């Protein structure tokens, strides 16, 4: 690691990590080339290439911005220390000391941020997400709990201004869902990068609505979170798909249940099957089912990527493993505990109402620590 020594005062010498600057500045040529290519008149002649160029540009932009800000900070620090070393006017010296103090206080956070930006992130963090919730062990109570989880995510999405679209659902006999599949999308947030931490088994401990003896029962539901595949992520052809139409069994009145508006798609090479019956329009259901099929095919490869990272890390916060027990919701104690980071909150009603950001933020901090440790090894 390279350091540069700036001017000192009161026998304190500040050392700046210039290797960070060198790494960022070495990316400037690539960033400029991407800018030139994107602004070229024929940039959109090849849409697949244009999408990739735009993605690369957006990934580099925050790194370059942070690097230039860090460079400016170092220049201002050197200038202030030069004034302190040469200036005799006490007012100017006091101003320089104040500026130095402020800059030095902000440098550690700035350097940590740049280090994180330089570590390759999950390439799918910026994508929208498709989520599947399935009732697990516990019968009717598991389906009811799956419905509770869906409402929790629904409220969380509403609070962040995200759009939620249900593509398929199988209601439970006593409420909730045996299974529900939905998409979360946003024009500003990387939804998958936030929601990926929810993949795994969620366990609930409470007296079920169906229990007459007042006994506490443990039930579970699994959550799978997938990054939504873009148009150019998977080469999916209709020649490889079998289309089946059937009458919807969902809500929506007699019209829904008497017309062949529901769609089932089978990908013949892989055997993957998806269906959509939430819309009155067969065409809309067909489009949604196609998007879901493309996403599920894409995630067959994405899971290999996650498995590769998990093999390198001793404690992987976000593995995408839907069989991993990640969280317990204990109603008698009013407690929710995330077992990956040993984090607990004793305000379960608020959490179940969608206020889950604190937990996700702690998971992000833990994963960032893992990434920094991995980068330093």
Pairing status of strand 325-330 against strand 200-206 = parallel
Query: Would you say residue 69 lies in a domain?
Result: yes
Q: Quickly tell me which residue has 């999916």 as its tokens.
A: 236
Which stretch, 31-40, 97-106, 118-127, 364-373, has highest mean pLDDT?
A: 97-106
Closest CA to 4 of 21, 25, 18: 18
Cβ atoms < 10 Å from Cβ of 149? 24
Residues near 257 by Cβ (< 8 Å), separated by ≥ 6? Answer: 247, 248, 249
Q: Which two tokens stand for residue 104?
A: 């030095």
More confident residue, 5 or 125: 125
d(CA 166, CA 279): 9
Of the residues 74, 89, 118, which one is the last residue of a structural domain?
A: 118
Residue 8 has pLDDT above 60, yes or no: no
Q: Which long-range contacts link 350-354 to residues 24+ away (Cβ below 8 Å)?
A: 351/152, 352/148, 352/151, 352/152, 353/152, 353/155, 354/151, 354/152, 354/153, 354/154, 354/155, 354/156, 354/157, 354/158, 354/159
d(CA 197, CA 357): 11
Residues 221 and 336 in one domain: yes
Residues 241 and 213 in one domain: yes
What is the band of 247 on the pLDDT scale with cuts at 50, 70, 90?
Answer: confident
d(CA 196, CA 318): 7
Query: Would you say residue 240 lies in a domain?
Result: yes
Q: How far is CA 83 from CA 10, 15, 70, 103, 302, in A?
A: 14, 18, 20, 15, 54
Of the residues 118, 142, 163, which one is the last residue of a structural domain?
A: 118
Query: Would you say residue 310 lies in a domain?
Result: yes
The H or E element spanning position 203 is strand 200-206
More confident residue, 331 or 301: 331
- The secondary structure of the chain in percent helix, strand, coil, rounded to multiples of 5, reads 50, 20, 30
Q: Which of 79-83, 180-184, 209-213, 238-242 has the lowest mean pLDDT?
A: 209-213
Percent of the chain with pLDDT over 90: 37
Q: Which of 37-51, 73-87, 142-156, 346-360 has the lowest mean pLDDT?
A: 37-51
Q: What is the pLDDT of residue 317?
A: 57
- pLDDT per residue over 211-241, tens digit each? 777 789 999 999 999 999 877 788 888 889 9
Q: What is the pLDDT of residue 308?
A: 66
Q: In Å, how far from its chain's centre is CA 94?
A: 45
Query: Would you say residue 123 lies in a domain?
Result: no
Q: What is the CATH number for 17?
A: 1.20.58
Q: Which of 117-121, 176-180, 281-285, 336-340 has the lowest mean pLDDT?
A: 117-121
- pLDDT per residue over 117-144, tens digit each? 887 777 788 899 999 999 987 789 999 9
Q: How many domains does the chain have?
A: 2
Give the mean pLDDT of the chain: 83
The H or E element spanning position 165 is strand 163-171
Half-sphere exposure (CA, 13 Å, Cβ side) for 74? 21
Residues 109 and 19 in one domain: yes
Query: Would you say residue 148 lies in a domain?
Result: yes
Q: What is the pLDDT of residue 2?
A: 42
Query: Would you say residue 124 lies in a domain?
Result: no
d(CA 269, CA 293): 12
pTM over the 0.75 mark? no
Q: What is the pLDDT of residue 160?
A: 96
Of the residues 118, 151, 180, which one is the last residue of a structural domain?
A: 118
Residue 176 DSSP code = S
Residue numbers of the domain that contains 337: 129-376
d(CA 131, CA 227): 9
- Specify whether the CB–CB gap between 247 and 258 falls below 8 A: yes
Q: What is the CATH number for 211?
A: 3.30.70.1660
């Amino acid at each position: 690691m390279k350091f540069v020594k700036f001017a000192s005062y009161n026998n304190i010498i500040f050392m700046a990590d210039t290797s960070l600057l060198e790494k960022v500045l070495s990316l400037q040529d690539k960033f400029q080339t991407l800018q030139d290519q994107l602004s070229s008149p024929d940039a959109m002649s090849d849409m697949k290439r244009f999408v990739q160029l735009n993605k690369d540009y957006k990934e580099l932009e925050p790194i370059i911005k942070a690097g230039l800000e860090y460079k400016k900070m170092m220049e201002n620090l050197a200038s202030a220390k030069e004034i302190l070393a040469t200036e005799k006017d006490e007012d100017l010296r006091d101003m320089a000391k104040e500026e130095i103090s402020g800059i030095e206080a902000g440098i550690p956070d700035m350097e940590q941020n740049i280090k994180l930006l330089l570590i390759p992130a999950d390439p799918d963090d910026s994508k929208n997400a498709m989520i599947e919730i399935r009732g697990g062990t516990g019968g009717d109570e598991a389906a009811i709990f799956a419905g509770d989880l869906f409402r929790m995510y629904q409220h969380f999405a509403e609070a962040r201004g995200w759009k939620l679209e249900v593509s398929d659902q199988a209601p439970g006999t006593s409420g909730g869902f045996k299974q529900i599949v939905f998409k979360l999308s946003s024009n500003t947030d990387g939804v998958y990068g936030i929601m990926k931490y929810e993949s795994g088994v969620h366990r609930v401990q409470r007296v079920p609505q169906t229990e007459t003896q007042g006994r506490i029962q443990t039930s579970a539901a699994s959550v799978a979170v997938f990054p939504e595949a873009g148009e150019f992520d998977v080469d999916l052809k209709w020649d490889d798909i079998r289309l089946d139409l059937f009458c919807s069994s969902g809500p929506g009145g007699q019209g829904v249940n008497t017309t062949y508006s529901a769609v089932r798609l089978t990908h013949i090479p892989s055997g993957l099957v998806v269906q959509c019956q939430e819309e009155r329009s067969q065409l809309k259901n067909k489009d949604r089912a196609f998007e879901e099929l493309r996403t599920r095919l894409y995630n067959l490869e994405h899971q290999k990527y996650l498995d590769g990272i998990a093999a390198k890390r001793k404690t992987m916060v976000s593995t995408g493993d839907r069989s991993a027990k990640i969280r317990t919701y204990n109603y008698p104690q009013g407690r929710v505990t995330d077992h990956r980071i040993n984090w607990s909150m004793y305000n379960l009603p608020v959490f179940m109402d969608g206020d889950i950001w604190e937990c996700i933020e702690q998971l992000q901090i833990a994963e960032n620590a893992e990434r920094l440790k991995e980068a330093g090894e």
